[in-house]
A and B are shown apart, each in its own frame.
Chain A
Amino acid sequence: MFSFFKRNKPHSEAPKSEIKSCLTSEQIAQIEQSITQIQQQIADTDDASTLAALYEKTGIFYQQLDHIDLAIENLEISLQHKKTIGEGYKMLMSLYNQKRADAAKNGSLADIDFWMNKMDAMRNIAKQVTIQRD
């Protein structure tokens, strides 16, 4: 059950760079087109739940394109409109952790603190939303 005493095997997940290179130019164009369409929909609505869902989609698309900062920005806006614990939440948590790891590699204590604080805030959202889901 546990691999505690075994040697570490590389995990099957592909590195981020490989994921990025898997996208063909057509796929990239298609995603960019989807983002443009969603941005149009965002401009046409002021319903918080709809906006949250649209920004979440945009964030996920940006992550697929490896635009991490834009992905984070859109996923954060999504949570500001409505707190949810769906795919966007999990992706944002993962991106924060990725940023935290980058900050650690760069040896920046201020950045580590910045991203860890964001991860702490995600903990509170998870607790709150688990209790009062719609």
Chain B
Amino acid sequence: MNVINFIIDNILTQASITISLIAMLGLILQKKSIGQILSGTLKTLLGFQVLNAGSSIIVGSLTYFGQIFTAGFAMQGIIPSIEAINGQAMNQLGLGRDIALTFLMIFIFNILIARFTRWKYIFLTGQAILWMATMTTVFGSVAGLTGVTLILVGGLIGAIFAVLMPAIAQPIIRKVTGSNDIALGHFCTIGYLFEAGVAYAVGEKGENKRSIEDMKLPKSFEFLQDTYLSVMVVMVPLYIITALFAGENYASTLSGGQNYVIYAFTQSIIFVVGIYVLLAGVRLLLGEIVPAFRGIAMKIVPNAIPALDCPVFFPYSPNAVILGFITTSIGTVIAMLTLPIFGLAMILPGMLTNFFAGGTAGIFGNAVGGRRGALIGGIAHGFFITLLPALLVTIFTQMGFVNATATDVDTVTVALLYAWILGPILKHF
């Protein structure tokens, strides 16, 4: 009994061990060799620790940024980064074990829904499932759920979204790809449908529908291929400008004798380093789990429709992707400037979200409302995907998250579902 208690109290409470055991389970079910099981399990363990290290780096940099932003602009400046939210939830808030188990439950419930209903979608974007598990766990715990209930409810809601989002996007995806073979597995789908709705309302219809002219990004935008360069391009000027607004007198108190502008520059690079380390950890963490469970899912649901990450659909409408990126970026800048007027935090635009979510939204806008639909819908989309995360800032701040908010709008919607509907209901019990 003492041994069991020791295992429960000291080993299974460790998030890194829990998630490694999940990976081990997947590898055993795949009938891998002992060597592969051992190396896969250890890689997952390593991945979790690397993720934690990245999170600590990000928090240090974000704390500094929050201080200079408040001093410079007399308001809260929030960086939209689901990676930062995940890292802080797993590490600083101690929710790692629950997030890991919720992640597993989303996979399991997704397989069950696809197996026993006519919605055959298997969501295969592992990173997105991790973000969803993070949000259901964080907001489930805010709503008062704990233990097994927190994990099961989070797993079920996450899995419902993992099936529902590809399903509701599928009519447009079918129109774009001309087949029902693959589906969209990206938790920004509510934003895509929002753009499609706007495009339907204001766009061109029938014979008047005009296609987007051939559009290409200038060579200078090639940095978008590199995740870290994309983050750096935004963060370096952002930190430096904010430090300049904060002023030398204040910013120097934080720079420890170093020139305050150089210090701001260094901190922006440290933020990017944090993202680099954290995402390397996520890759290690998911590198073994996702292939194992997607294989099992496909075997259990042989007629599954795989829901794949958004760039898979870029070739079907590349011009719409570019237009979507540009218009969404415009929308996020408009939202950044206008939301503080209504008492909300200033949400700074995220280049990566604008490209991937904006680009995919452009495909939807173009498919439904042609060029005009994609243009107006894209700007509306940019505003929408900035507004939703802004609504979460107060809750995140109260929970102890440092200057960050979530990005992917489906996960934000789940969070709002917990905060506005599930939480108040649970208070009556």
Give A contacts to B, CB under 8 Å. 1-4, 8, 11, 13, 85-86, 89-90, 93-94, 97-98, 100-101, 103-105, 107, 109, 112-113, 116-117, 119, 122-124, 126-133
CB-CB under 8 A for A130 and B302, given A94-B181, A116-B294: no
* Interface presence of B262 (CB below 8 A): no
* Interface presence of B296 (CB below 8 A): yes
Least CB separation from B302: chain A residue: A104
Q: Mark B281-314, 1 if CB is under 8 A from A, else 0.
A: 0000000000100111011011110101101111
Q: A127 contacts B314, CB within 8 Å?
A: yes
Q: A130 contacts B318, CB within 8 Å?
A: yes
Q: B318 contacts A97, CB within 8 Å?
A: no
Q: B315 contacts A113, CB within 8 Å?
A: no
Provide the residues of chain B in CB contact with A124, threshold 8 Å: 311
Q: How far is the CB of B32 from chain A (nearest CB, A)?
A: 9
Q: B312 contacts A107, CB within 8 Å?
A: no
Q: A1-B171, A130-B359 given; name 20 further pairs at CB < 8 Å.
A: A4-B167, A85-B315, A89-B315, A94-B181, A104-B304, A109-B31, A109-B295, A112-B298, A113-B291, A113-B295, A116-B124, A122-B312, A123-B308, A123-B309, A126-B314, A129-B315, A130-B311, A130-B318, A130-B321, A131-B221
Q: List 25 A-B contacts (CB under 8 A).
A: A2-B171, A4-B167, A13-B180, A85-B314, A85-B318, A90-B177, A93-B312, A98-B181, A104-B303, A109-B30, A109-B295, A109-B299, A112-B298, A113-B291, A113-B294, A119-B312, A126-B313, A126-B314, A127-B311, A131-B221, A131-B224, A131-B225, A132-B217, A132-B219, A132-B222
Give B contacts to A, CB under 8 Å. 30-31, 118, 124, 167-168, 171, 177, 179-182, 216-217, 219, 221-222, 224-225, 291, 294-296, 298-299, 301-304, 306, 308-309, 311-316, 318, 321-322, 359
- Assembled-state Cα–Cα distance A86/B295 (Å): 29
Provide the residues of chain A in CB contact with B182, threshold 8 Å: 93, 97
- Assembled-state Cα–Cα distance A107/B298 (Å): 8
Q: How far is the CB of A124 from chain B (nearest CB, A)?
A: 8
- Assembled-state Cα–Cα distance A130/B225 (Å): 10
Q: A107 contacts B311, CB within 8 Å?
A: no
Q: A90 contacts B291, CB within 8 Å?
A: no
- Assembled-state Cα–Cα distance A13/B219 (Å): 39
- Assembled-state Cα–Cα distance A129/B224 (Å): 11
Q: How far is the CB of B217 from chain A (nearest CB, A)?
A: 6
Provide the residues of chain B in CB contact with A2, threshold 8 Å: 168, 171
- Assembled-state Cα–Cα distance A76/B45 (Å): 35
Provide the main secondary structure of the chain B interface.
Answer: helix
Least CB separation from A119: chain B residue: B308
Closest 7 CB pairs of A and B: A85-B315, A127-B311, A104-B298, A104-B302, A109-B295, A130-B314, A126-B311
Provide the residues of chain B in CB contact with A129, threshold 8 Å: 315, 318
- Assembled-state Cα–Cα distance A133/B317 (Å): 13
Task: Please pick, from B224, B225, B294, B302, the residue contacting A105 in the complex, using a CB distance under 8 A.
Answer: B302
- Assembled-state Cα–Cα distance A133/B222 (Å): 10
Provide the residues of chain A in CB contact with B167, threshold 8 Å: 4
Task: Please pick, from B294, B304, B309, B316, the residue contacting A90 in the complex, using a CB distance under 8 A.
Answer: B316
Provide the main secondary structure of the chain A interface.
Answer: helix
- Assembled-state Cα–Cα distance A132/B428 (Å): 55
Task: Please pick, from B118, B180, B304, B315, the residue contacting A126 in the complex, using a CB distance under 8 A.
Answer: B315
Q: B299 contacts A13, CB within 8 Å?
A: no
Q: How far is the CB of A107 from chain B (nearest CB, A)?
A: 5
Provide the residues of chain B in CB contact with A104, threshold 8 Å: 298-299, 301-304
- Assembled-state Cα–Cα distance A120/B302 (Å): 19
Q: How far is the CB of A95 from chain B (nearest CB, A)?
A: 10
Most buried by A among B219, B296, B304, B314: B314
Q: How far is the CB of B75 from chain A (nearest CB, A)?
A: 34
CB-CB under 8 A for A11 and B295, given A85-B314, A123-B308: no
- Assembled-state Cα–Cα distance A119/B307 (Å): 12
Q: How far is the CB of A120 from chain B (nearest CB, A)?
A: 8
Q: How far is the CB of B227 from chain A (nearest CB, A)?
A: 10
Q: B291 contacts A126, CB within 8 Å?
A: no
- Assembled-state Cα–Cα distance A103/B304 (Å): 12
Q: How far is the CB of B378 from chain A (nearest CB, A)?
A: 16
Provide the residues of chain B in CB contact with A128, threshold 8 Å: 225
Q: A133 contacts B314, CB within 8 Å?
A: no
Q: A116 contacts B291, CB within 8 Å?
A: yes
Least CB separation from B301: chain A residue: A104
Task: Please pick, from B216, B217, B312, the residue contacting A123 in the complex, using a CB distance under 8 A.
Answer: B312
- Assembled-state Cα–Cα distance A130/B316 (Å): 10
Task: Please pick, from B225, B306, B359, the residue contacting A100 in the complex, using a CB distance under 8 A.
Answer: B306
Q: B171 contacts A101, CB within 8 Å?
A: no
Provide the residues of chain A in CB contact with B217, threshold 8 Å: 131-132
Provide the residues of chain B in CB contact with A98, threshold 8 Å: 181
- Assembled-state Cα–Cα distance A126/B313 (Å): 8
Q: How far is the CB of A96 from chain B (nearest CB, A)?
A: 10
Provide the residues of chain B in CB contact with A85, threshold 8 Å: 314-315, 318
Q: How far is the CB of A12 from chain B (nearest CB, A)?
A: 10
Provide the residues of chain A in CB contact with B222, threshold 8 Å: 131-132
